[in-house]
Structure 1
Amino acid sequence: MPKKEGKLILEGLSWYGSWTLTKHIKKIEFLIISKIA
């Protein structure tokens, strides 16, 4: 695999990972807030 392609794949994975993480955190925050309310 060329170096450039590998770098793009890694960047894509880290972007996807942080996006999914943000989604999960928002969902957890919402659940906590709705439980308190």
Structure 2
Amino acid sequence: HPFSFVVCCDEAGYDPSGVREGVKSILNRLARVKAGG
């Protein structure tokens, strides 16, 4: 579950907003690949 992942990272001392930006960039990259690059 994505929310529990964010909570886990937050507890580990990561910046949740940074995690969200990273996830967003990964999803954008996957979307571009699915669209044919």
**Greater relative CO (CA pairs within 8 A, separation 6+):** 2
Q: Which runs of 5+ in 2 are unaligned?
A: 1-13
Count of equivalent residues: 24
- Runs ≥4 in structure 1, deviation > 4 angstroms? none
Separation in structure 2 between the aligned mates of residue 9 and residue 16 of structure 1, nearest angstrom: 11
The two structures have a TM-score, normalised by structure 1, of 0.58
- Does residue 6 of structure 1 match 2:16? no
Kindly indicate which of the two structures has a greater share of residues assigned to helix: 1
Counting aligned pairs with the same residue, the percent is 0
Separation in structure 1 between the aligned mates of residue 18 and residue 33 of structure 2, nearest angstrom: 22
RMSD: 1.3
The two structures have a TM-score, normalised by structure 2, of 0.58
